Amino acid sequence: MESIFHEKQEGSLCAQHCLNNLLQGEYFSPVELSSIAHQLDEEERMRMAEGGVTSEDYRTFLQQPSGNMDDSGFFSIQVISNALKVWGLELILFNSPEYQRLSIDPINERSFICNYKEHWFTVRKLGKQTLV
């Protein structure tokens, strides 16, 4: 391996840096992740509207801020998951039934996306090294 790509943390854009460090290049910008977040927001709005646009639940939903992004640059796990789908990658939650069904051995995996106190980061094997 010639070099290791690492994007330093800027503001609260840890999801962007997490994805780019995982993929080893500048593949996602805040604009692209915001676009995914807005698309998810619209899908959620449409689902909520199915219960009736005059319902109290729908009106309350419309008054709430996005659950997929905020003004600080924080993006949700759903945004990260959808961003990975562009690359044909799947995010499998550690505590999910699917993870248990696949009997995944963490030692043999190449990478993990982790969240600690609202901070996204990647743990990834590159060659014989594990990088955080």
pLDDT digits (tens, 9 = 90+) for 52-91: 999 999 999 999 999 999 988 899 999 999 999 999 999 9
Domain locations along the chain: 14-131
**pLDDT given for residue 109 in this prediction:** 82
Maximum mean pLDDT: which of 40-44, 91-95, 107-111, 128-132: 40-44
| Model confidence pLDDT, tens digit, residues 23-58 | 999 999 999 999 999 999 999 999 999 989 999 999
Q: Is 73 left (phi over 0), alpha (psi -120 to 50) or beta?
A: left
CB 69 within 8 A of CB 79: yes
Q: Which CATH architecture has domain 14-131?
A: Alpha-Beta Complex (3.90)
Distance CA 39, CA 33 (A): 10
Distance CA 80, CA 100 (A): 21
Model's pTM, two decimal places? 0.86
DSSP SS3 for 5: coil
Q: Output the CA–CA distances (angstroms, integers) from residue 128 to 38, 55, 59, 107, 125, in the order listed.
A: 38, 56, 53, 12, 7
Task: Give the residue carrying structure tokens 């982790």.
Answer: 114
Instruction: List all residues 6 or more positions away from 70 whose beta carbon is below 8 Å from its beta carbon.
Output: 12
